[in-house]
Structure 1
Amino acid sequence: MPPQVDSSLLSVFLESNPGVKFIHYQFVDLGGVLREMIVVAAEAMVHASENKPHNVGCVPLRMLPNGHFSPRFVGVGKEYLWPDWSSLRLARFIGNGKTHALVMCFVDEGMAAGNVYTGTISCPRSILKRAMESAKSDGLEFLIGFETEFVLLDKTRSDLEPTGITAPTSWCVAAAMQHDGVSGVGAYEFVTAPTSTMEAIDEQIYIRQAIQTISRRCGFRATLYPAPFGAGSTNGAHCHLSINNPTVELANNFLAGVLERLPALCAFTLPVHDSYYRVSELKGQTGKWVAWGTENKDLPIRGILNRVGYWEFRSADYTANTYLQLAAWLTAGHLGVQEKIKLRWKDCDVLLAFCTAEQIAALEVDTLMPASLGESLKALQQAIDERKLLPLGEEFLNEFIVHKRAEDEIFTKMPELERRQLFTTIW
């Protein structure tokens, strides 16, 4: 069946915000690109009152970032956007902040060949919703917070040089967005308070749009791309994830489930060629080993001191579809709980870059992080073959691999500067 949405929330919202004339129906495609259709508020109200979705043809999920189509794209049929009205909010960064609103949508692919309803099999928001509901059925609920790192570029230049904090109007951006600074020339960071999983992602997508819009207004171009300067300063999308009231055993099982599948999960969380500039040691990024450590920022997972079931997941950036990213992490952790996977990896309280092979082995650390998207996709294919991520849906997983392999083939061959110039305009 199509998604069930509460359309009464729209009428209440419009009564409280009578100046709203346009509603941006938004979703994130398989390649991590935010897409939208702008609908007149009156038309949205008609659709909502009749409990009808918005027809968007047959394109939504399968377009590559450069505008080409995925090999799985079929130019036949109709697809629909079902707004999740619980995510509706004013777009305060557009115009006077009172005429535009944003809503995140489920993508309903309707009827496939043979009139079989395929619906939301590949819809990222639906996949996350199913993962959350499955986890909740076993008593697992989460709080999520994000660190949003970005760099300000001079929008009048094409050489991708960062601007410094002393640039005349960079203070305009800082004041407008109340930033929290990080290391790096022209580098900034926003930190969001913990909230429920879906709400946290919706909020983070809103913040990214606000950052980029306000920056343009102030004469800059903001990018969240992981490696806007190649091997130079990088942007991460660190995620703080905590389980509500876990036992030590449950928390360890959850963490073990994620670590066991971490190379495969990188296909979702480090999903483009340049994501792998961040897979390095001694830079406070993701580290090179599949490992974790309390207050160790040179590893993919940092445990939080004196907190059970609370971690910072560091092996992600904002080219990821964040709905799929969280769905993958929650599914892996949930499987760890269901299967009672033992946490064999020791708590790494040292920098592995300075350890001998014997010392690393003593910490039960024996697997390197993927060094490329190709390696991550190979690990994901192995996980599918070994049936280690089946709750995400085998049909969706196979589709995702085809989509990302097509991207990787195109963008690995693209000249580096051309690729970075393209992607810093998208992310």
Structure 2
Amino acid sequence: MGSRAEQGNNARQSAARLDAEGVGNVALTWVDNAGITRVKTIPPRRLADAVARGVGMSPVFDVFTSDDAITASDHLGGPDGDLRLIPDLDRLTTLAAQPGWAWAPVDRYDLLGQPHPACQRLFARRMAERATAAGLDLRMGFETEWVVTRAPQGPADAAPLDYPCTGPAYGMARVVQLSDYLRDVTEALTVQGVEVLQLHPEYAPGQFEVSTAPADPVRAADDVVLVRETIRAVSARHGLRATFAPSVVAGEVGNGCHLHLSLHREGTSLHRADGAEWSLAPDAVAFLAGILDALPALLAIGCPSPASYLRLLPSHWAGVYQCWGVENREAALRLVVGAPDDPDGGHAEVKTFDAAANPYLAVGTVIAAGLHGIDTAAHLPAPQIGDPGVLGVRERARRGIVRLPATLTEAADRFEKSAPLREALGEVLHGAVLAVRRAEEAHYADCEPEEIVTATRWRW
């Protein structure tokens, strides 16, 4: 990070640049354990002070739920204490769709300057450093799905959804109807330094997806936060409203946020091992097997809301069975082969996750699971061919294919018992995540699907 003097000088230079660009406010964001992006803002002239001494915030945000209720864990909760938000100037970005604004993610420290044990971004960095220490170069990226509607004239929760595009799923008609809007999304992301790989209409009404370039794990998590808030801002400027909620209409296809990852060692792709089964080097096999083994517990991270489980339906390309497959979009873990002539091609996709997930927790726990797979020499079972949902119960049992948790309660139970994830997260962060999950499941325990969707549709 450089010396304190270097950081201060960089902050003053950044503030001068922002002032020259007409920026009047900097949004400092972190993502809580319910997946909500929280914020404090400062004028650019306070950047140097924020880097040196931080911006104050309460530790209680680690036990906020998605509906802004406050629960408690063994370590966190209540009105006492303070933390310092330290902006990462390397990610300081002038926002293209919010004139006069810039953005930076923060790391969180206590008043003595020690890392806050529940800081999700620092956790992601620790796990990335573990992977590096194991000789692995990890690249990650997210697919972000969202549904766009016209902004309601009355109360948002009561207004019927008014889709601005009515074309067929994956159809060019939707692109034509919203061409100015989609162009502005792409341009804003590009100006902000986020490389767009592709953007296309998705299956559900008003639904789109954008894929961005892979990066190191922490940057990938930063990028997905920036992508969501940019889409939200562009939507508002077009008189539209975007939702990233897992379930937008009960019974219909919801929004996923699939995590893609690739493994390299000393510049060589571990997905391109000549002569190896599935072209995977042994460490890649073990890493992916570790993820597959941990998926029931990982769902409490990647699918953190009761609304998430309304999306996880068999035969909906959501990956609800604990299996993997080569280019199988019904498998929870999909091996993407990539172009034959691309030496860096090939990666894996975790299909179960959605945008209610904290992306820093998502990348960090997936890394932890994968490294545990390497440590235990985990093996992949035979890949699944075809949709496991159409197999009979006995045939799935014969193949060792089981249903992933179908409720948040089941996932939280598995998460609570996962020793590798507890060790990786530490008692404070693990306890805070679990407390939020238990509070979410209790709050919605007696709700019908339509009630859950209505309550959560605009939270993400």
TM-score (norm 1): 0.89
Give the C-alpha shift of residue 160 in structure 1: 4.5
Write out per-residue CA displacement over residues 42-67 of structure 1, whole angstroms, 9 at most, x where no aligned residue. Answer: 1223343xx21111244432222222
SS at match of 1:335: helix
Runs of 5+ unmatched residues, structure 2: 167-173, 187-198, 274-280, 339-343
Task: For 1:300 and 1:159, locate their aligned partners in 2 and report how far apart those are by CA, in whole Å.
Answer: 35
SS at match of 1:65: coil
Matched, 1:381 2:384: no
Q: Name the counterpart of 1:134.
A: 130
Q: Trace 1:87-236 onto structure 2 (pairs within 5 A).
A: 87-95=91-99, 99-110=100-111, 119-156=115-152, 158-166=158-166, 170-178=178-186, 179-236=199-256
Write out per-residue CA displacement over residues 341-379 of structure 1, whole angstroms, 9 at most, x where no aligned residue. Answer: 122x2111222123344543454x343200000000011
Give the C-alpha shift of residue 122 in structure 1: 0.7
Q: CA RMSD in A?
A: 2.5
Task: For 2:422 and 2:49, locate their aligned partners in 1 and report how far apart those are by CA, in whole Å.
Answer: 40
* Corresponding pairs, count: 410
SS at match of 1:13: helix
Task: For 2:28 and 2:139, locate their aligned partners in 1 and report how far apart those are by CA, in whole Å.
Answer: 26
SS at match of 1:273: coil
| Aligned mate of 1:250, from 275, 283, 298 | 283
Task: For 1:336 and 1:140, locate their aligned partners in 2 and report how far apart those are by CA, in whole Å.
Answer: 13
Pick which of 7-16 and 395-404 moved more.
Answer: 7-16
Contact 2:31 2:38 in 1 (8 A): yes
Give the C-alpha shift of residue 68 in structure 1: 1.6
- One-letter code aligned to 1:233: V
Question: Would the alpha carbon gap of residues 388 and 183 (structure 1) be closer, same or farther in structure 2, given more than 3 Å must change?
Answer: closer
- One-letter code aligned to 1:42: R
Question: Would the alpha carbon gap of residues 319 and 170 (structure 1) be closer, same or farther in structure 2, given more than 3 Å must change?
Answer: same
Q: Name the counterpart of 1:13.
A: 14
Give the C-alpha shift of residue 403 in structure 1: 1.9
Q: Name the counterpart of 1:332.
A: 369
Q: Name the counterpart of 2:341.
A: none
Task: For 1:228 and 1:256, locate their aligned partners in 2 and report how far apart those are by CA, in whole Å.
Answer: 32
Task: For 1:160 and 1:325, locate their aligned partners in 2 and report how far apart those are by CA, in whole Å.
Answer: 32
Task: For 1:334 and 1:424, locate their aligned partners in 2 and report how far apart those are by CA, in whole Å.
Answer: 35
Matched, 1:405 2:438: yes
Contact 2:15 2:47 in 1 (8 A): no
Matched, 1:342 2:379: yes
Task: For 1:58 and 1:184, locate their aligned partners in 2 and report how far apart those are by CA, in whole Å.
Answer: 38
SS at match of 2:404: coil
Task: For 1:414 and 1:171, locate their aligned partners in 2 and report how far apart those are by CA, in whole Å.
Answer: 38
Q: Name the counterpart of 1:43.
A: 46
Write out per-residue CA displacement over residues 251-293 of structure 1, whole angstroms, 9 at most, x where no aligned residue. Answer: 1100111111110010000100011123222221223x11000
Contact 2:297 2:414 in 1 (8 A): yes
Give the C-alpha shift of residue 140 in structure 1: 1.5
SS at match of 1:297: coil
SS at match of 1:80: strand
Give the C-alpha shift of residue 169 in structure 1: 7.2
Question: Would the alpha carbon gap of residues 388 and 145 (structure 1) be closer, same or farther in structure 2, given more than 3 Å must change?
Answer: closer
Contact 2:63 2:433 in 1 (8 A): no
Contact 2:253 2:311 in 1 (8 A): no
| Aligned mate of 1:24, from 24, 27, 30 | 27
Task: For 1:58 and 1:325, locate their aligned partners in 2 and report how far apart those are by CA, in whole Å.
Answer: 21
Task: For 2:421 and 2:36, locate their aligned partners in 1 and report how far apart those are by CA, in whole Å.
Answer: 27
| Aligned mate of 2:407, from 365, 372, 383 | 372
Task: For 1:300 and 1:79, locate their aligned partners in 2 and report how far apart those are by CA, in whole Å.
Answer: 37
Question: Would the alpha carbon gap of residues 308 and 337 (structure 1) be closer, same or farther in structure 2, given more than 3 Å must change?
Answer: farther
Q: Name the counterpart of 1:82.
A: 86
Give the C-alpha shift of residue 89 in structure 1: 0.6
Q: Name the counterpart of 1:360.
A: 396
Task: For 1:15 and 1:118, locate their aligned partners in 2 and report how far apart those are by CA, in whole Å.
Answer: 29
Pick which of 11-20 and 144-153 moved more.
Answer: 11-20
Question: Would the alpha carbon gap of residues 327 and 397 (structure 1) be closer, same or farther in structure 2, given more than 3 Å must change?
Answer: same
Compare relative contact order (CA 8 Å, sep 6+) and give the higher one, 1 or 2.
2
- One-letter code aligned to 2:33: L
- Aligned-residue sequence identity (percent) comes to 23
Contact 1:32 1:320 in 2 (8 A): yes
Pick which of 223-232 and 239-248 moved more.
Answer: 239-248
Give the C-alpha shift of residue 11 in structure 1: 3.0
Task: For 1:308 and 1:250, locate their aligned partners in 2 and report how far apart those are by CA, in whole Å.
Answer: 17
Task: For 2:177 and 2:160, locate their aligned partners in 1 and report how far apart those are by CA, in whole Å.
Answer: 18
Question: Would the alpha carbon gap of residues 162 and 193 (structure 1) be closer, same or farther in structure 2, given more than 3 Å must change?
Answer: farther
- One-letter code aligned to 1:187: Q
- One-letter code aligned to 2:165: I
- One-letter code aligned to 1:86: D
Question: Would the alpha carbon gap of residues 8 and 243 (structure 1) be closer, same or farther in structure 2, given more than 3 Å must change?
Answer: farther
Question: Would the alpha carbon gap of residues 401 and 59 (structure 1) be closer, same or farther in structure 2, given more than 3 Å must change?
Answer: closer
Question: Would the alpha carbon gap of residues 15 and 382 (structure 1) be closer, same or farther in structure 2, given more than 3 Å must change?
Answer: same
Give the C-alpha shift of residue 235 in structure 1: 0.7
Give the C-alpha shift of residue 395 in structure 1: 3.1
SS at match of 1:183: coil
Contact 2:306 2:440 in 1 (8 A): no
- One-letter code aligned to 2:364: A
Give the C-alpha shift of residue 406 in structure 1: 1.0
Q: Name the counterpart of 1:394.
A: 427
TM-score (norm 2): 0.83
Matched, 1:60 2:61: yes
